């Protein structure tokens, strides 16, 4: 059953809140002027020191990367230059301590004020719950529970009893049970809302059934990382509260993505990450497995496989060590909300690829790539597309929503716009951490000027 075609209540935008948003935009503009003035003064006062500080950062990252991706005593040679680089950074920071403190304060003020202004525009209530509609309580709600996910979160939060208390039928996933078959059986028996209490891999399987049967899906963050829940705007610590989506929720349509015949909700990783995930030790000791395998997968002579794909504006791209294809693009350029998605309904895949062979490539990316304003820099490319294809001469290791797979190429990715009806509790934010971030760009500064003048500027925050 589709949700009613009635917009969400937007009464929260009164003249008082509009004035507060206008004042926040003014504060953000003043902070931006302060940031520019402080940055220019730091360059003018000590240009050589600034250049040397970036060199010290490069050397420090290089040494750290060398220590991680190499084996043997040769790694100890990096300790002395790493110590000297750290001393140089501390010295520069101490000499510029007051300017750096003021700069950090100005950046913080700009971030909070600009975010407040963007979130409290007159149309932001509609923007936050993008195309969301109030949903009637589930007539026949079913919650599938994976008791092993998240180290037993379901038992700790007593999800079975909490579901029954809300007239939701709980179904426990037992050893040997097929999750898709369980979800299909629930839909066939009349369930109009199917929830999944488990990790992102389980969410993807149930979402694929919900898409096929055109029933609403509820995500209950009972896994370990719960990235899908985070991008839906759920409080990952409030596992029981997510059940309110069955009884008092809002519904909207979001995209899914497909890799050959498999559905995913977050991303597919190829290369370094996928090779580490393939290890049998990964589930029990993630950090230890990374430390043990990095020298093999990132060494100077290491190549994951001969991945081939088309890159916009690049004809000589080769040697990709990491490829991430996501269901909607990730925000990777800004600190706040990094690694989350501003929207789940753009109808496009996000594609990120990099070639990091050796410590120098890592250091170059960290020191120069983070300050580059373009979406392509050196050994990094980031773009969006409706479809994407990866070719290879051998089976490709893939981490699909955290699950380890070995797939026969070609790998064909495609976006499925509006494929899933998803419900979240009415009192949830409905947005990810990436939503509402406002980077210092000319476009957003102009949007803030319009907001400060009392005019709508929905372009702010890059939505």
**Which pLDDT score is estimated for 67?**
74
Beta bridge pairs of residue 134 = 250
Please give the Cα distance from 244 to 188 (Å, whole number).
23
User: Which stretches in the chain have pLDDT values below 70?
Assistant: 1-15, 17, 69, 71-72, 122-131, 276-305, 314-319, 333-338, 356-379, 436, 456-463
pLDDT 10s digits, 183-195: 999 999 999 999 9
Please give the Cα distance from 197 to 205 (Å, whole number).
12
Please give the domain boundaries of the chain with CATH numbers for all domains: 15-129+439-462 (no CATH), 133-264+418-425 (3.40.50.10330), 267-416 (2.60.200.40)
| 205 phi and psi angles, rounded to 5 deg | -65, -45
**Which pLDDT score is estimated for 368?**
56
List all residues 6 or more positions away from 152 whose beta carbon is below 8 Å from its beta carbon. Answer: none
Taking alpha carbons only, the member of 237, 254, 243, 251 closest to residue 219 is 243
Torsion-angle region of 204 (φ positive above 0: left; ψ -120 to 50: alpha; else: beta): alpha
pLDDT 10s digits, 64-112: 877 776 766 777 888 898 899 899 889 888 888 889 899 999 999 998 8
pTM: 0.78
**Which pLDDT score is estimated for 296?**
57
CA 99 distance to own-chain centroid:
32
Cα–Cα separations (whole angstroms), residue 31 to 44, 65, 111: 20, 35, 9
Asked whether 378 and 251 are in contact (CB, 8 A), the reply is no
**Which pLDDT score is estimated for 306?**
77
| 140 phi and psi angles, rounded to 5 deg | -135, 90
**Which pLDDT score is estimated for 182?**
96
Please give the Cα distance from 373 to 361 (Å, whole number).
18
**Which pLDDT score is estimated for 444?**
84
């Amino acid at each position: 059953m589709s949700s009613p075609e009635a917009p969400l209540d937007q009464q929260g935008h009164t003249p008082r809140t509009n004035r507060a948003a206008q004042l926040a935009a003014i504060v953000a503009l003043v902070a931006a002027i302060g940031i520019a003035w402080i940055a220019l003064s730091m360059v003018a006062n000590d240009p050589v020191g600034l250049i040397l500080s970036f060199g010290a950062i490069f050397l420090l990252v290089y040494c750290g990367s060398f220590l991680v991706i190499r084996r043997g005593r040769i790694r100890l040679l990096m300790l002395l230059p790493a110590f000297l680089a750290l001393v140089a950074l501390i010295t520069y920071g101490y000499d510029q301590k007051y300017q750096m403190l003021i700069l950090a304060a100005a950046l913080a003020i700009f971030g909070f004020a600009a975010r407040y202004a963007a979130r409290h525009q007159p149309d932001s209530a509609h923007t936050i719950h993008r195309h969301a509609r109030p949903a009637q309580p589930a007539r026949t709600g079913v919650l599938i529970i994976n008791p092993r996910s998240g180290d037993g979160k379901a038992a700790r939060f007593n999800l079975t009893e909490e579901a029954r208390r809300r007239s939701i039928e709980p179904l426990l996933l037992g050893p040997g049970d097929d999750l898709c078959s369980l979800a299909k059986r629930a839909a066939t028996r009349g369930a109009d809302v199917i929830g999944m209490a488990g990790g992102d891999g389980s969410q993807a399987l149930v979402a694929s059934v919900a898409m096929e049967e055109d029933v609403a899906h509820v995500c209950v963050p009972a896994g370990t990382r719960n990235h899908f829940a985070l991008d839906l705007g759920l409080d990952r610590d409030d596992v029981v509260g997510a059940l309110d989506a069955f009884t008092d929720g809002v519904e909207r349509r979001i995209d899914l993505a497909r890799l050959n015949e498999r559905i995913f909700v977050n991303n597919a990783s190829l290369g370094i990450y996928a090779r580490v995930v393939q290890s049998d030790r990964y589930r029990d000791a993630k950090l230890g497995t990374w430390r043990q395998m990095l020298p093999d997968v990132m060494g100077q002579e290491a190549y994951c496989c001969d991945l081939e794909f088309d890159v916009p504006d690049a004809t000589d791209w080769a040697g990709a060590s990491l490829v991430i294809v996501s269901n909607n693009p990730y925000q990777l350029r800004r600190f706040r909300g990094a690694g989350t998605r501003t929207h789940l309904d753009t109808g496009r895949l996000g594609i990120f690829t990099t070639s990091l062979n050796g410590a120098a490539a890592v250091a170059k990316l960290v020191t120069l790539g983070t300050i580059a304003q373009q979406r392509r820099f050196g050994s990094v490319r980031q773009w969006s597309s409706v479809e994407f294809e990866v070719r290879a001469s051998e089976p490709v290791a893939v981490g699909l929503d955290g699950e380890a797979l070995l797939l026969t190429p070609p790998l064909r990715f495609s976006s499925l716009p509006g494929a899933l009806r998803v419900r979240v509790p009415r009192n949830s934010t409905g947005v990810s951490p990436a939503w509402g971030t406002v980077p210092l760009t000319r476009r957003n500064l102009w949007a803030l000027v319009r907001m400060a003048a009392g005019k709508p500027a929905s372009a702010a925050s890059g939505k």
